[in-house]
Every structure is written in C-alpha cells, then in structure tokens.
Amino acid sequence: MIYTINMGIKLKIKSIKDRVENGNLLIYVPFDIDLKKNINNYLFFDWIKSWGFRYKYNNKLNETHFIIPKNFDLKEVFYKREQFEYCLGFNKTRGKSMSESDFLEFVYMKFLKSMGITKKTTSFARGIQGHKKTKLTEMMYYHFVCNKYDNKIDDILYLDEIDLNEKSYQYLKNSLLKTADNKALILYKNREELPDLDNLKSYLRLKKINNLQVKSSKGDKIKDFMIGFEDKFSNHKMAYNALFGIMFSNESGSIKIDFSNKEDFEKSNGVYLTNTLTKLKELGILFERTEDFHSNLLQFYYIKSFQTTNPYFLLNALVEHCKKINEIYDNKDYDLLKDDNVKIFLTSMMEDLILGMKSLGLFLVEE
C-alpha cells in the first residue's frame, strides 16, 4: 500500500479514492483515519507528515479528505511502477485482413508504448520461410499497418509454419518469459491462450483485453476492420482518434462499435479532443513542449492510467479539460486574441492537451 523510497513515503494510487468536484481534484479515503479507530491508519499519517499535507474528516460522508496544494508535483508522492521490459501481444498469425480483436489489441499496445508503461512491444507471427507469395503478402500487410499508425512492433518472433503446433508455440512463449531480467506485461483474450506460467523467473502481469462487439451495415462481421472505420473520415489519423475514443471511454466492460451509425464516430471523445486542439491552433497560440502537466488534476490521472494500465482515466480527464477550454473559447464577453491573460491561460491548457494526447498515443491531426 505505502512504500518508503529515498526522499519520502510514497502511496500507491489504488490505496486512495478520487473524484472531481467543481473542477477540483479531491483525494480521499472512505473512512475516518483516526488512529483510535484503527491503528493501521498510521501509514496514512506517516504519508501526510512526510509531505506536509493536511487532512479533514467529513462526518456526513464518512470520508477523510487529503488537502494537497494545487501547485504540488503529484509525481513525487505516488509510487510509480517500473517500466515493463516488454509487452507481449498482437499475435498476427492468420490471414491477411486484420480482425476486430487484432486491432483493439494493436491500439492498446500503442497506448502502452506511448505512455512509457512498456519499453518494447513483442508479437508472434508466422514466418515467411521460402518467401511464398501469400506469406510475404501477409507480412507486408502486417508492417504496412504498423507503419501507417506509427506503431512499430519492436520484436516480431516468427513461427515456422512447418513445425508449428501447440507445444512449440507454448515453448517459444515460455522461453521468452523465462529470461530472468525481463519484466513482462502479457495481453490475453482467453485464459487458455496463456503460456504455462509456473516457475517463471520473470515479474509478470496479466492484462485481459476487453471484449469487442462490432456491428456494421453489412452484418455483424466486417472483412477488414480498418476499412470499416476509415470510411467515416478522409483522414486516417482522425479515424484512429475517433476509434480510440469509442474503445476507451468506458472504464471496463465490453466495447460496442456500430459502423452503421456515423454519429457515434463524430461524437467520439477522440474527435472531441482533436477538434478542441484545432480550435486552439486556429487562435495562433504558440506553445512550448513540456514533459509535465501544468494541471495537477491531469497529472494525477496520468499517474492513475499508468498504474492501472488503463487509458480511461487520462482520456476522461482530458475530455473535462477540453470542456473548460471550449467554455472559454465560446465566451462572447471578451476577444480571445486581445486578452493576453486569457491567451496565457489557454496556452498552458493547450500544452496539457497536447501532452495528454501524445501520452495516450493519439495523433495531433494536421488538417
């Protein structure tokens, strides 16, 4: 729950609750941390004392609120997991066309790499021994997709189709994971897909990919997933952002995509973020590249998405961030181009939006 690391005590982000009230981040636990009620609460007291925070108990809600200054760097107080050496997923082994579940995993792996959760991505694919025309075409398509969406798979382990069977496939997986120095994040859809994890030396974390249900005007299945959603936009990068917003705007559960309903794509949170960024660019705002968020709220949800390997938290926080931007943009009481204070404020908000989108692996679409 709580770790002592060098300068101070760091708290695992899952140890506390959070919500946003009136645009402000509220960090709390759903109980009274009074030591007389539970001696184990001394851990929270040590954390508070270590960073000089205050707290306040809300008797009506039975919550202890931690009061953290707005300008405080939240990266310092929350434990951040070490990077995984690699993520194992997106196992392209059958056919030329990419299936729905393939693309969901592909998009998720780009998020993991962009976020810095994993250093490398690793995939299995059938080999092209003998350079058969059909096999070569499949692998050219595989690399085409990776390049088109700026999502290069770092290591592709080719399986020799001649010797391919269930045992050799599992053997390759186990051999990869037994490397003592590697920390691996393994993506899977069904438990039976997993390798034998007994007695492996690596530090492993399993991540189940959400179910994906697709409906199109041509039926329940589509031959090529990419063509299905790219038809909605002339710009394939905007299409990617739209799809990302649909896939990850819910915290958990199955994902439903209806290609027959164009409105779903146009209202995607990924499109909303992109359009808001376009508005700011049209104002001629000059921004600087930054590695840290100005907003402690966005910083917190970046950390939470990193810790949970879930893009939902940062994506949802960026949507609320864009709502604030659009409120200012649509306010007719002042001229944005002449109000220097507003332009300075919007500049920092634009920098946060760009950093957040890049962290999620979204495209900064140039029309």
Chain segment 164-209, per-residue pLDDT in tens: 455 555 665 666 666 656 688 888 777 666 666 666 666 778 788 8
In tens, the pLDDT along 284-343 reads: 777 777 788 989 899 999 999 999 999 999 999 999 999 999 888 877 665 665 667 777
Instruction: Kindly state whether residues 55 and 168 are assigned to the same domain.
Output: no
Q: Check residues 232 and 156 and name the one with the higher pLDDT.
A: 156
Number of compact structural domains in the chain: 3
What is the model's pLDDT at position 303? Answer: 93
**Per-residue pLDDT band at 26 (split at 50, 70, 90):** very high
Residue (of 289, 270, 293) closest to 349 by Cα position: 293
Q: Do the beta carbons of residue 116 and residue 306 sit within 8 Å?
A: yes
Domain limits at 319?
Answer: 269-360
**Per-residue pLDDT band at 355 (split at 50, 70, 90):** very high
Instruction: Kindly state whether residues 199 and 98 are assigned to the same domain.
Output: yes
Q: What is the mean pLDDT of residues 340-351?
A: 82
Q: In this structure, is residue 276 part of a structural domain?
A: yes
Instruction: Kindly state whether residues 117 and 155 are assigned to the same domain.
Output: yes
The Cα-based distances of 283 to 60, 280, 326, 349, 359 in angstroms read 46, 5, 13, 13, 24
Q: Is the pTM of this model over 0.75?
A: yes
Residue 5 has pLDDT above 50, yes or no: no
**Per-residue pLDDT band at 255 (split at 50, 70, 90):** confident
Handedness of CA 302, 303, 308, 313 (dihedral sign): negative
Instruction: Kindly state whether residues 99 and 138 are assigned to the same domain.
Output: yes
Residue 58 has pLDDT above 80, yes or no: yes
What is the model's pLDDT at position 28? Answer: 93
Distance CA(354)–CA(357), nearest Å, equals 5
Count how many Cα atoms sit within 13 Å of the Cα of residue 271 in the half-sphere of its side chain: 15
Instruction: Kindly state whether residues 112 and 197 are assigned to the same domain.
Output: yes
What is the model's pLDDT at position 131? Answer: 45
* Residue entry with tokens 């692998």: 139
Name the domain boundary from 20, 51, 76. 76
In tens, the pLDDT along 115-170 reads: 999 998 888 765 544 445 556 666 677 777 788 889 888 887 766 544 545 555 56
Q: What is the mean pLDDT of residues 17-26?
A: 90
What is the model's pLDDT at position 361? Answer: 96
Name the domain boundary from 37, 56, 76. 76
> Percent of the chain, pLDDT > 90?
25
What is the model's pLDDT at position 161? Answer: 47
What is the model's pLDDT at position 188? Answer: 78
Name the domain boundary from 76, 109, 131. 76
Instruction: Kindly state whether residues 98 and 189 are assigned to the same domain.
Output: yes
In tens, the pLDDT along 72-105 reads: 888 888 888 888 888 887 665 555 556 667 778 8
